[in-house]
Amino acid sequence: MSGQALAGELQLLRPEAALAGGLCLLLAADLSPQLRARAVAPWLGVLACAAAAGLALTGGHGSVAAMLAIDPLAAFARLPILLVTALVLLAGAGERRREADHGAWSCSVLGIGLGAMLVAAAANFVSLWLGLELIALASYVLAAFRGGDRRAAEAGMKFVLFGGAASALTLFGMSHVYGLTGHLDFAGVGQALGSEMPVAVLAALCLAGVGIAYKLTLVPFHFYAPDVYQGAPALSVAAVAAVPKIAAVAALVRLLQSAVPASLAPAPALGNVLAGAAAVSMLVAAFTAVVQQDGKRIVAFSGIGHGGALVLALACLPGAGAIATAGFYLLGYAAANVGALVCLSVLERTRGDCSLGALAGAVRQQPWVTAALCLFLFSLAGVPPLAGFLGKWAVLQQALAQAQASGGAPLLPWAVLALLLSTAVSAWAYLLVVRAAVLAPAAAATATPPRLPWPTAVVLLACTAATLGLGVWLDGLPAIQRALLP
């Protein structure tokens, strides 16, 4: 490859370069006692995200050394990744402004954003692996970030153990894919297989996809989530929960379309596998959430169920609008999830933890934060006219249309029933948090909470506007579908 061609390809990575440059600048600033005392690290991270978003909006499309594909899918995924990362950093500027370790925390959040952008654009198992590992390493740090806290230490340890096992399975599968096909790029794997999918290759691809399933918290790769969410600081969970899911969905779509084309795995067979995984994840999450006694654990099981709903949308591939449906669902989920966790972070700081007992009577002391928390939980439950309802409705319509089409997956109607049942059951779990915060009397008098920092208020307003706006954006699906066109 000529130097001019390489320079042209590297131009496509300007958003990632801006984020990496911001990460280096943030590390350098944290070495200065004056800048560290002024808590500029989160603001530098927000500026890096803004610069990367501006470059992403003006960037082109193409391939980078057959490792990264900057296509409409990656371009679409970049913006919510950067937006959610910026919102978490902005909330950190408010909630963590008095902490001495805000620089390291901001670096970890920015690292998750950078890794997610690499995963979203991955067209090769090597680049996918590197992106997943960057996300994982930064997530481990955030999970155990609260020094001296036994729960945070336990969360970090469990995250590392489960994450290490998932990484080992993923790498094991990737090595076998290379050994069986001689390729590591997704398109090369699909071409090498031709029209035959041997059982050994199928097993290797399934193992290679464990890393993606782990980020989506699909059953049975979900066991870490409740304990990690409960032990880690709520604001750290906001970054760990939402950003990797956006990247994982983009990577799964590209992997299914390139490495497992329709000539190798017919749409009904692939749809059955994805619909079955989605149904199991949604049902396990819903029926387990209703017995939880901690707000963050309920949100964790919520993430497992929403991961299943995203996979149900992708089970409709190659149906028109399947990717757009998953994209719209992701936007609504990210807005409500980040908003709910920021609210829980505020309540956690004043009440010690997020158990239902600790949240009792929160509306009397922090009415606006509690009201926002209820709004976000209602959106996650799928209550109209919020974003969660329109997202679930879109998935329901897409799955039913694909099931009725000729050649649709036989398991899709059953997965639709699982979606309806899990939505009804999980709504009860969300109501447990609402009942504790709004209706339950406070167990004991608590100190007057400090005034809500303005950066945190801005984040909550932004998430509220997105949750309400996406819920009434009836042209959302066609608009996203047009954005995903090459």
- Does 421 map to a domain? yes
Q: How is residue 146 annotated by DSSP?
A: S
Is the bond preceding residue 478 a cis peptide, omega within 30 degrees? Answer: no
Examine the pLDDT at 156 and tell me if it is beyond 80. yes
Examine the pLDDT at 240 and tell me if it is beyond 70. yes
* Side-chain-facing half-sphere of 481: CA atoms under 13 Å: 10
- Does 39 map to a domain? no
Span of 34-43, 117-126, 326-335, 451-460 with lowest mean pLDDT: 34-43
- Does 82 map to a domain? no
Please tell me the chain's helix, strand, coil percentages from 3-state DSSP, rounded to the nearest 5. 75, 0, 20
Span of 4-13, 53-62, 316-325, 370-379 with lowest mean pLDDT: 4-13
The helix/strand/coil state of 61 is coil
Examine the pLDDT at 57 and tell me if it is beyond 60. yes
- Does 367 map to a domain? yes
446, 214, 466: which is closest to 352 by C-alpha? Answer: 446
Q: Which residues pair with 63 in a beta bridge?
A: 69
Cβ(99)–Cβ(235) below 8 Å? no
- Does 325 map to a domain? yes
- Does 61 map to a domain? no
Render pLDDT for 261-300 as a digit per residue (tens, 0 to 9): 766 666 677 888 889 999 999 999 999 999 888 888 999 9
The secondary structure of 403-450 as a DSSP string is HHSTT--TTHHHHHHHHHHHHHHHHHHHHHHHIIIIISPPSS--PPPP
The separation between CA 69 and the C-alpha centre of its own chain, rounded to angstroms, equals 20
- Does 93 map to a domain? no
pTM comes to 0.92
- Does 445 map to a domain? yes
Cα–Cα distance, 486 to 477 (Å, whole number):
16
Q: pLDDT band for position 260 (50/70/90)?
A: confident
Q: Specify the pLDDT at position 265.
A: 67
Q: Specify the pLDDT at position 445.
A: 53
Beta-carbon contacts of 224 under 8 Å, excluding residues fewer than 6 positions away, are: 158, 159, 162, 163
More confident residue, 329 or 482: 329
Determine phi and psi for 122, rounding to 5 degrees: -65, 130
Measured torsion, CA atoms of residues 51, 458, 90, 33, in degrees rounded to the nearest 10: 110
Cα–Cα distance, 475 to 486 (Å, whole number):
20
Examine the pLDDT at 99 and tell me if it is beyond 80. no
Cβ(312)–Cβ(249) below 8 Å? no
Torsion sign over Cα 189, 190, 191, 193: positive
Examine the pLDDT at 107 and tell me if it is beyond 60. yes
Cα–Cα distance, 145 to 100 (Å, whole number):
12
Cα–Cα distance, 158 to 474 (Å, whole number):
41
Cα–Cα distance, 213 to 221 (Å, whole number):
7
| Structural domain containing residue 288 | 266-486
Determine phi and psi for 192, rounding to 5 degrees: -65, -30
CA 371 → CA 113, 375, 442, distances in Å? Answer: 29, 6, 17
Q: What is the mean pLDDT of residues 115-126?
A: 91
**Structural domains counted in the chain:** 1
* Side-chain-facing half-sphere of 2: CA atoms under 13 Å: 3
